[in-house]
Amino acid sequence: MVIATGYFDGVHLGHRFLLEALVKAARERKDESMVITFHPHPRAVLQKEASSFRLISSREEKKELILKAGVDHIEELEFTKEFAALTAAEYIDFLVCRFGCRAIVLGYDNRFGCDEKSHNEIASIAADKGVEVITLGACLSDSGIEVSSTKIRKAIESGDCKAANQMLGRPYSIYGIVVAGNRIGRTIGFPTANVSPCDPLKIIPKGGVYLSRVHCLGKEFYGMTNIGRRPTVVNSTEIVIETNIFDFSEDIYSLEISVEFLERIRDEVRFNSLSELSAQLSSDRNRCLSILQTLR
């Protein structure tokens, strides 16, 4: 078995670069490829800010994207403090004994073991156990940025979805269920689908209005999504995700929906009246449609 190991949050361009190398290495050796991943995220177990740590991808999204890359097998291991205490040598022994590991593919910043060995040290330890180590260089985005999950998380949290999407190689999305709202948007000509995320640990982008792409009813639509507390209407204590889907009138309450964030339009603002809000939403819609013309 040829193995790559890590959390793979987001399965971004850097991860896909590694997964392509993994699949290729397995085929060259007439072997099978496997990804070893973990749950929960190591930071959620080992660091104090675990309660505020959020993820780019859900477990289901991650598995689907890894398999889509052509990997033969995925194993999800429970990450515990005891597991984290394994040395690099002990972890390699574990991979050999449990999965028949013959080769390991390491990304440029990929480390394992509590002793934090370098790539060369890991390769030396592995060689003594009959395991080959294949090391890769860094993966850069089209703009020359070194791709990492940490940078993507920061981009999403700051509202820079264009940068996040470039590093992901796809639009960042939130999957959820459409729930009932206060229906005020309908009264001003902008009905919205309020989305309750299925995974509470997914990162919610910075508050504001976004050009979005929506998948529901087996079809694809465009719209604009507001993330925030709706200060003009109710000033909610909770963050609300609501999407006005362009040229759409179907009843989709209680149905599944996926919202992709394409570009941030503006901050959320409190208006003095619903008429002012409606006028701004009309302007937002026109700007979104203008952007869409450049994307098509």
Instruction: Specify whether the CB–CB gap between 73 and 34 falls below 8 A.
Output: yes
pLDDT per position as a tens digit, 174-187: 999 999 877 777 77
pLDDT per position as a tens digit, 185-196: 777 878 999 999
Q: At what angle do helices 88-99 and 119-128 cross, to 10 degrees?
A: 50
**Residue 152: strand, helix, or coil:** helix
| Spatial distance between the Cα atoms of 172 and 46, rounded to a whole number of angstroms | 27
For the chain, give the percent of residues with pLDDT over 70.
98
CA 13 to chain centre: 11
Whole-prediction pTM value? Answer: 0.92
In this structure, how many other beta carbons lie within 10 angstroms of the beta carbon of residue 97?
Answer: 9
Predicted confidence band at 53 (pLDDT cuts at 50, 70, 90)?
confident
Instruction: Specify whether the CB–CB gap between 74 and 47 falls below 8 A.
Output: no
Q: Is the pLDDT of residue 235 over 80?
A: no
Strands (E), 47-206: 73-78, 103-106, 132-135, 172-179, 193-197
Asked whether the CA dihedral 216, 220, 222, 225 is positive or negative, the reply is positive
What average pLDDT does the chain have? 92
pLDDT per position as a tens digit, 16-33: 999 999 999 999 999 999
Strands (E), 229-293: 240-245, 256-266
Provide Rg for the chain, Cα atoms: 22
**b/e map of 115-154 (b: 16 or more CB within 10 Å)?**
eebebeebbebbeeeebebbebeebebeeeeebbbebbbe
